[in-house]
A and B are shown apart, each in its own frame.
Chain A
């Protein structure tokens, strides 16, 4: 690439022999040539070490102690006590369960809708570019702004959604107090924000599927729906795996939406929509138990590693099966 030009030597003069023995480069230059790629990527890895790895390790260290935010100097060794306490902690299990249910409630509709949208946007139509850009807009809004608007919409007494339900004759729903209702409310915000984002990723994936396949399918008399099932979906498999992995990680870390729905760090009066991320925040910044919060953070980290691993295994197995066919 031309970017590296200053580092490479200028083209050598025409060699006197057809098969010349390469001249030895000066050692400094050679060393630089070998080292330069590392130098170029160093800033990222330095930052990653400082803001990624170090906090991770420090969190693990803190999770072995009893530390309170108000007296951060007094650290009392607890060993794995913070972790074993989680096993018997009813609120932790509630949070884990909520994280799972909200994760499913938001990820599944989100990805299905994104697929459908991408399929539609992939057709030739007027204003396609505009629509493709517009679909990304929810993603560009901040979680805070989006959630605050949704919290108003879902309001029990003066919310628009309950008003509409009332017009249809359905009794008002207490979107913040009911367990299922509140989880649906949280999931709605998530779905709204991320559907367009995933749709664009799918769209990009669809563009790499050769047109000939569609043409061939059309010649064979396959309907649009059949084309979607038998050409688009198989072609998109790697993309789908990617979005599932990313969405799983996102669902496990879900935090902003449940926090802002009611402004409650306990995820509602009876923890009905408290996610793991929120529980960690409540322990750390609500009750100031930093050690316990750190333990939860690590459990979340391990959980994500396991989930991503399972995802990868399934994906690999499927593609091997495909190859074997």
Chain B
């Protein structure tokens, strides 16, 4: 069974290098056509965009429109589903300095790493006049992407105001109320949510569970907190943070009560479970709406609904678009991200895909939006209220990695029946190992 170097590099290439390779190929192709562009002949430019998860630009038709507005510009997008994989490959390419796209997406949990550790690897967008855009964006969103020396390292795409998505049809079968207002009242606290879950479990239709995974439960609860893993001075506080501990305890309760479908977020099984109706509720930040539509498909239309989140407003995720120093077409890339993050486009993206705008102008515009897929839920109002009330979070360099270790430990409780105390200890060891 010689897994020799060739075989190994194949795998690495698949997971991490496929993007690099395609990036390099694109760069190579782009190189030749650029020659023409700088000669002033064809004026053709291919802008490469490398993203993760579902930004939804292609789906919302924004690329097509941009190409129409700018003849000669072609946009090529590559996409990695799992953000952790995406980040890994981005870091490798940043270190090597090759294979980078013109536009790279950055998750908000990583933006501190960019501003604090890698400010020299990304373009300061002030060079291209980004200063003038400041007034468009929510203040916290803008501040998080600003480096030590005031450089602007990315433009905010969306934010992740939180709500609870649920399957109305499953609720009805289990004899629970289906009205979103009433549900919001019944689960005004997390304890209320868990109590309702127990009620659901008693009469659950099919083999469906109350919740997709306690990993997503933990993530959405931690999104309601201002301080999570670090305090404002940059000190690591997660172990002694009572808010984090409360989120942990509620997640453990959900696991021990058997309320979870025991899925792993972003895994193929999780994806399949949307269409199969394996769970009745899923904590959903605004950007999750597009993902649900994608996975549950047409047949899910009208079965879903959205209610306000238990325990108050929160924010989970939201991203930035940045231009690496090694990009081929920096100026064109800036023009593109400026357009994509402008209020009009953010509004359209929200209406089509549900990604909630980070632009202050757009937030007002979408206040009345509803979504037919989610039983005409007033998504503009639900997510708008959440966005206004969401705390401004303290971001740290290793937020994402620490969260991953804690989620892993919670999954142990959920799927292996590990004692919570032991799992907490495992999380501590995992975090120590991560930080090295």
Contact = CB atoms under 8 A, between A and B. Distances in A.
Interface of A: 69-72, 89-91, 106-107, 110, 142-144, 151-152, 155-158, 174, 177-178, 190-191, 193-194, 197-198, 246-247, 249-251, 253-256, 259-260, 262-263, 265-266, 269-270, 277, 281, 283, 285-289, 292
Interface in B144-179: none
A175 to B, nearest CB: 11
A154 to B, nearest CB: 11
A11 B136 CA distance: 87
B3 A157 contact: no
A157 B416 contact: no
A71 B121 CA distance: 11
Contacts of B92: 69, 285
Given A143-B10, A260-B11, A270-B408, A292 B1 contact: no
A191 B4 CA distance: 15
Given A71-B117, A246-B1, A263-B267, 11 more contacts: A70-B94, A142-B10, A155-B268, A155-B269, A156-B269, A193-B1, A251-B3, A260-B14, A281-B12, A285-B92, A287-B433
Contact of B14 (A144, A156, A281, A292): A144
Interface residues of B, number: 47
Contacts, number: 127
B1 A110 contact: yes
Contacts of B435: 287
Given A262-B264, A270-B408, A285-B92, A144 B11 contact: yes
A156 B117 CA distance: 40
Interface string B261-277: 00010111100110010
B405 to A, nearest CB: 9
30 contacts: A72-B95, A90-B429, A91-B433, A110-B1, A142-B10, A142-B14, A143-B10, A143-B14, A151-B268, A156-B269, A174-B415, A190-B1, A191-B1, A198-B1, A246-B1, A249-B2, A251-B3, A255-B12, A256-B7, A259-B11, A259-B15, A260-B11, A260-B15, A262-B264, A263-B266, A269-B264, A269-B415, A270-B426, A283-B436, A287-B433
A18 to B, nearest CB: 56
Contact of A143 (B11, B16, B401): B11
Interface in B1-48: 1-4, 7-8, 10-12, 14-16
Interface in B247-286: 264, 266-269, 272-273, 276, 278
B17 to A, nearest CB: 11
